[in-house]
Amino acid sequence: MNQLPTQIAFDEYGRPFIILRDQERQSRLTGIDAHKSHILAAKSVASVIKTSLGPKGLDKMMVGPDGDVTITNDGATILDRMDVEHQIAKLMVQLSKSQDDEIGDGTTGVVVLAGALLEQSEKLLDRGIHPIRISDGYEMAAKIATDKLDEISETFAVDLKEKEPLIQLAMTTLGSKIVNRCHRQMAEIAVEAIMSVADFDRKDVDFELIKVEGKVGGKLEDTMLVKGVVVDKDMSHPQMPKVVKDAKIAILTCPFEPPKPKTKHKLDVTSVEDYQKLREYEKEKFESMVEMVKKTGANLVICQWGFDDEANHLLLQRELPAVRWVGGPEIELIAIATGGRIVPRFEELTQEKLGKAGSVREMSFGTTRERMLVIEECRNSRAVTIFIRGGNKMIVEEAKRSIHDALCVIRNIVRDNRIVYGGGAPEIAASLAVQEAAENISTLEQYAVRSFAEALESVPLALAENSGLSPIHTLADVKSRQVKEKNPFLGIDCLRKGTNDMKVQHVIETLTAKKQQILLATQLVRMILKIDDIRAPNDMSM
Amino acid sequence: MMSLNPVQIFKMGAEEEKSETARMSSFVGAIAIGDLVKSTLGPKGMDKILQSSSTNEALKVTNDGATILKSIGVDNPAAKVLVDISMVQDDEVGDGTTSVVVFACELLKEAESLVSQKIHPQTVISGWRKAVDAAREALTNAARDNGNDPVKFKEDLLNIARTTLSSKILTQHKEKFSNLAVDAVLRLKGSGNLDAIQLIKKLGGNLSDSYLEEGFLLDKKVGLNQPKRMENAKILIANTPMDTDKIKVFGSRVRVDAVSKVAQLEVAEKEKMKLKVEKIIKHGCNVFINRQLIYNYPEQLFSDAGVMAIEHADFDGVERLSLVTGGEIVSTFDCPEKVKLGTCKLIEEVMIGEDKLLKFSGVELGEACTVVLRGATQQILDEAERSLHDALCVLSQTVKETRTVYGGGCSEMLMADAVSKLAAKTPGKEAVAMESFAKALRQLPTIIADNAGYDSADLIAQLRASHTSGKHTIGLDMQHGRVGDVAQLGITESYQVKRQVLISGHEAAEMILRVDNIIKAAPRPRAPDHRHH
């Protein structure tokens, strides 16, 4: 590896002087080289996912380390599955992830923006502007841009009765995904789900109450919203009734098995009497377990653990349908939905702790013997399950991710009801504002601010390019119209509907998501610009 | 310097394929899979031999798309998507597993040429979506529903069974097996519960010796010295240990200080078993079937009481038995009055080939029946089972969804016709995509004709002409190599299957077409396999 002269010091006899241990075994990049290398890496990450932006964006096929295939359009998922090693690329992946955690949507946009910002800073570096000055300029510009967004935002009436605007919002998010074949249906499902869960007083939505369950088979149109819980389990005994009406559910986390004390112990059987007593005890134990459940008036048992064969049969005999091996999160959901309490001991089971549901039934699919349990008409009707069907595994997975995005967006609007119109319109408006402000800055930062304005244009550019429009031409047109008509809602007409006014097209995005995108991207870029030295073990490919 | 080096952002071994290359690799992979199974399509389709890499597994000869695709290991991601849809088709409707793959592959072939003409994939997709809606509508309009007329419906079912079986190994005995399958499914009385139909394969004889047995056959033997024939049997179906009943309380163990004590315990154990057997007999049963082993001692006790005891019926067997005889699976024996015993008129040992089986006839659930398949080799038997299973699946689906459509390429031509008409009316580039969709649909009958060795170009042209002039019952007559009226020929398929082929095939093709970038993670390093040398 090339050794930079600055890395080695020499003493007066001309012998090399080792300052850092193992420095010959490390590779090192400093100064402008380091910056250039970072920018290159970030740009190539951005270029990978740039083409999936917008309603006409294309998907990516990801092959996992074990050969499993994922097909997705979701920026966060693409970056997550990408086997990235470069340090800066890893930062970009995290950027997308944090947007996903915080907002849930706009994961592609944020990376594209960060990539563009870095690309612009490369030009500034070439002009000899110090990285810190660039990053300060970006900071100023981000402030101007978000202020502009606040200014052009509109408040959005979240009204339980008026679902139409919300559906429009969800449709904007789902527009870029493969599920847009049943666009409206999916949007309605997402809105319906949030509406039944949302807590309008606290302005929050508890995602725990929404479960997204997928099952391969059928068609996408069969996707439905179940007002209740769907569990991928069936009755423990094939002859138990398949339908329970007016179910009173005992939710147990203790197994129907002979008791196992947790302290280590030994039980010695030394005589025939002992042996017989133990047998009696065992039998009694089973009887009393079932009896205790029965006494509370329960007519359905949901248990986290397994049953002994004998217990299983006893349950059948006492006409007590039961479900075993139900996972922890599912049991919690059932408890919330049915208003029951999770009971860890048989002794503590009382009538008040039972959950109630109008109907519990088994549902079977296709030609195979797969069944699922549907708990409906629960006491607490707020828990819902979105049950997704689709022709193959990948489409079901992708539909799950898309629904999740749509849910996030609707939740955000419940939290903060300010919106901007999408289609690149807010970026163009912000870019114009930043451009204008740049002229008034007397210091060096002026250049950085101007570059920021150019970087903001990358999103509408990519949108236009993906939609098969001539990018620069379209952008120039829209930009000039925004200035001329003083209408900040003009954006890229991706779907060729004949109008550029996004308000008319009902392309809606939340203000928080847009602001977050700009802030997160700026933050990351500032961080990357501050790095001027990388050390890495030499065996890595640098 | 260093900054001029390309920056590697992926891990070593990870790969990325972009736009043209990515699309090319998906098309190539998908088309390869399509071509692989293409030759099995239709009544004159050919079979494939599948040999597993591990030597202990027997080779398979099959015509079933899902089985072929399940057995070949594919590496290409697009190919994996196609394998996946084939599996889903198998699970969901049971038949059409080859058609769905071939259709998706033909669509992709069309897409390839469109994309090379610089038509954006998204344009193709939106054209296809309109086309698939049109095709579906045409298919639904052409579907007939004879569900209310039992005589005609049975005729429909027979036709469907014949059509399904005609592409399989059973085609020689098509008549026999389609009757057999329809009888079996009609016994279910619309429940569509395939559990009640049991398939038993016995080597020997030939396919025409296969028959439908009323009732239920269990591949087990009766214990020694026990009655081999039982009339008006009352059956207790159990899942309980009949070896030594272990104490389940955790941590218990036996510790004794003298040999005599061991003997005493042994007696106690025996006593316990005896008690259990007595309790079982108290239920008033004369047949006892257990999922688990029955040791010699209890077996002997049962013999003494004149009870027929059958051990080690596997889980499936036990569940099915309880279904057909109406008894419940019992694990505790303390309240005999509550236990529901299974009943059947007669249990007897029957010989099939060289094996003795237990036959339960006159069972409570009249729906149950068993199909005994005979054949010269294991491969024939396996393939016959798969074919019959396909037919049964399709039939049971048809009983639920009684609409039917014409086969023999007729429905495909009908849909293609509808799509073409729509394309002619549509302005813009989408029309090209729709036309390509119609072309892909027409490829299916083309392949069927090609596989039978006829002049496909001529036949398809004739078909197309007839359909355009409004004769919508014209299809391929592969027995004579000409076009004919499929309504008269009785080539019928289930509407459900056809619709699913259309929808899933399109879904998969769209999904693959939408991809413009393939990113492969570095393969997980595995310890080298030292087993084979």
pLDDT in tens, B176-197: 888 888 888 887 776 666 767 7
Residues A496-530: pLDDT tens digits? 777 888 888 888 888 888 898 999 999 999 988 88
| Contact across the interface for B2 and A394, Cβ inside 8 Å | no
Q: How far is B228 from chain A (nearest CA, A)?
A: 29
What mean pLDDT comes out for the span B291-296? 76
The pTM (predicted TM-score) of the whole model is: 0.81
What gap in Å lies between CA B233 and CA A361, rounded to an integer? Answer: 33
User: Has residue A6 got a pLDDT over 60?
Assistant: no
- The reply to whether B510 touches chain A by the CB within 8 Å rule is yes
Q: Report CA dihedral (A290, A293, A299, A303) to the nearest 10 degrees.
A: -80
User: Could you tell me the pLDDT band of residue A541, with boundaries at 50, 70 and 90?
Assistant: very low
Enter the DSSP assignment of A205.
-
B339 contacts A317? CB cut-off 8 A: yes
Torsion angle in degrees (nearest 10) through CA of A215, A217, A218, A223: 20
How many CB atoms neighbour CB B407 within 10 A?
27
Question: With 90 as the cut, is the pLDDT of residue A170 above it?
Answer: no
Cβ distance B504 to A219 less than 8 Å, yes or no, reads: yes
Q: What is the mean pLDDT of residues B335-357?
A: 75
Q: For the segment B127-176, what is each residue's pLDDT rounded down to a tens digit?
A: 998 999 999 999 999 888 887 888 888 888 888 888 888 877 777 788 88
Angle at which helices A445-456 and A458-466 pack, to 10 degrees? 20
Task: Please write the tens of the pLDDT for every residue from A266-302.
Answer: 777 777 777 778 777 877 887 888 888 888 888 888 8
Look at the alpha carbons of A486, A488, A489, A492 in this order and tell me if their dihedral is positive or negative. positive
* B66 contacts chain A (CB < 8 A): no
DSSP string covering B51-82:
--SSTTSPPEEE--HHHHHHHS----HHHHHH
pLDDT bracket for residue B244 (50, 70, 90): low
Query: Taking CB atoms and an 8 Å cut-off, how many pairs form between chains A and B?
Result: 255
pLDDT tens digits, A104-142: 778 888 889 999 999 999 899 988 888 899 999 999 999
The pLDDT-based confidence of A19 (bands split at 50, 70, 90) is: low
User: What DSSP line would sit under A135-187, residue for residue?
Assistant: HHHHHHHHHHHHHHHHHH-EE----SS--HHHHHHHHHHHTTSGGGGGHHHHH
CA A195 to CA A411: how far, in whole Å? 9
Q: Kindly state the helix (H) or strand (E) to which residue B182 belongs, with its residue range.
A: helix B174-187
Question: Highest-confidence range of A461-470, B104-113, B503-512, by mean pLDDT?
Answer: B104-113
Per the prediction, chain A carries an average pLDDT of: 82
DSSP state of B223: P
pLDDT surpassing 90 at residue B57: no
DSSP state of B321: H
Of B87, B98, B121, B348, nearest in space to B221 by CA = B348
Predicted confidence at residue B249, as pLDDT, reads: 63
pLDDT at A5: 47
Percent of chain A at pLDDT above 90? 9
Of A220, A271, A391, the CB nearest to B88: A391
* pLDDT at residue A32 in the model: 81
Alpha-carbon distance of B177 to B55, in angstroms, equals 33
pLDDT at A262 over 70: no
> A36, A51, A77, A83: which to substitute to probe chain B, counting the most B Cβ within 10 Å?
A83
pLDDT class for A423, splitting at 50, 70, 90? confident
pLDDT computed for residue B5 by the predictor: 52
* Alpha helices by DSSP H, A416-470: 425-439, 445-456, 458-466
The arithmetic mean of pLDDT across residues A459-471, rounded, is: 86
pLDDT at A24: 61
Place of tokens 């890499």: B53
- Choose among B11, B123, B396: nearest Cβ to A83: B11
Mutate to test the interface with A, among B517, B518, B524 (most CBs of A within 10 A): B517
Residue B67 in this model has a pLDDT that exceeds 80: yes
Question: By CA distance, what is B14's nearest residue in A?
Answer: A83
pLDDT at A23: 59
What is the C-alpha separation between A492 and A471, in angstroms, rounded?
10
pLDDT band of residue A542 (cuts 50, 70, 90) is very low
Partner residue opposite B251 with nearest CB, options A41, A89, A267: A267
The percentage of chain B sitting over the pLDDT mark of 70, rounded to a whole number, equals 90
For residue B240, the model assigns a pLDDT of 75
DSSP for B110-128 reads: HHHHHHHTT--HHHHHHHH
Average pLDDT over residues A227-247: 81
Does A29 contact B250 at a Cβ distance shorter than 8 Å? no
Pick the most confident of A87-91, B229-233, B408-412, B419-423.
Answer: B419-423
Lowest mean pLDDT among A76-85, A215-224, B217-226, B512-521: B217-226
Q: What pLDDT, on the 0 to 100 scale, is given for residue A433?
A: 92
Summarize the confidence of residues B281-287 as an average pLDDT: 78
Question: Which CA distances in Å does A435 have to A122, A425, B179, B261, B399?
Answer: 19, 15, 80, 98, 69
Mean pLDDT of A78-88: 82
CB–CB of B478/B42 below 8 Å? yes
**What average pLDDT does this structure show over A308-322?**
79
Q: A279-288, A421-430, B450-459: which has the minimum mean pLDDT?
A: A279-288
Strands B369-375 and B211-214: antiparallel
**Chain A residues lying within 8 Å of B504, measured CB to CB:** 219, 391-392
CB-closest option in A37, A48, A239 to B329: A239
Bridge partners, A84 (sequence order): B10
pLDDT at B434: 93
Q: How many CA atoms lie within 13 A of B360 on its CB side?
A: 33
Chain A's closest residue to B119, CA to CA, is A468
Per-residue pLDDT for B55 more than 70? no
Rounded CA gap, B283 and B277, in Å?
A: 10
Q: Is the pLDDT reported for residue A251 higher than 80?
A: yes
What are the strands of the beta sheet with A384-390, ordered from one edge? A210-216, A384-390, A224-226
pLDDT at B4: 47
Of A33, A64, A369, the CB nearest to B521: A64
B334: which chain A residues are within 8 Å (Cβ-Cβ)?
A: 283
What is the pLDDT averaged over residues B189-212?
A: 76
Residue A237: what pLDDT? Answer: 76
Please, which pLDDT band fits residue B231 given cuts at 50, 70 and 90?
confident
* Average pLDDT score over residue span B425-438: 90
Mean pLDDT of B464-484: 86
Highest mean pLDDT among A112-121, A190-199, B51-60: A112-121
Chain B interface disruption, residue of A2, A7, A63, most B CBs within 10 A: A63
In this predicted structure, what is the pLDDT of residue B366?
Answer: 63
Contact across the interface for A317 and B335, Cβ inside 8 Å: yes
Q: Which residues of A are catalytic?
A: 74, 107-108, 405
Task: Pick A20 or A201 by higher pLDDT.
Answer: A201
Q: Do A217 and B519 touch (CB under 8 A)?
A: no
- Sort residue B472 into left (φ over 0), alpha (ψ -120 to 50) or beta: alpha
SS3 B344: strand
- pLDDT computed for residue B267 by the predictor: 80
SS3 state at A470:
coil
Residue A2 binned pLDDT confidence (cut-offs 50, 70, 90): very low
For residue B225, the tally of other CB atoms under 10 A from its CB is 11
Q: What is the pLDDT confidence band of residue A35, given thresholds at 50, 70 and 90?
A: confident
Task: Assess: ipTM above 0.90.
Answer: no
Contacts 24+ apart (CB under 8 A), A522-526: A522/A117, A522/A138, A522/A139, A522/A141, A522/A142, A524/A91, A524/A92, A524/A95, A524/A114, A525/A114, A525/A117, A525/A118, A525/A121, A525/A135, A525/A138, A526/A135, A526/A138, A526/A139
**Residue A203 region, left (φ>0) first, then alpha (ψ -120 to 50), else beta?**
left
> Which residues of A are less than 8 Å from B248 in CB distance?
257-258, 282, 308
Strands B355-363 and B342-352: antiparallel
Q: What's the pLDDT at A27?
A: 67
Look at residue A53 in the predicted model and tell me its pLDDT: 84
The DSSP code sequence of A34-63 is HHHHHHHHHHHHHHHHHTT-STTPPEEEEE
CB-CB under 8 Å, A272 with B264: yes
* Structure confidence at residue A202 (pLDDT): 76
Q: Looking at residue A25, what is its pLDDT?
A: 63
How would residue A12 be classed by pLDDT, with cut points 50, 70 and 90?
confident
CA–CA separation, A34 and A121 (whole Å)? 13
**Across all residues in chain B, what is the average pLDDT?**
81
CB contact under 8 A, B11 and A258: no
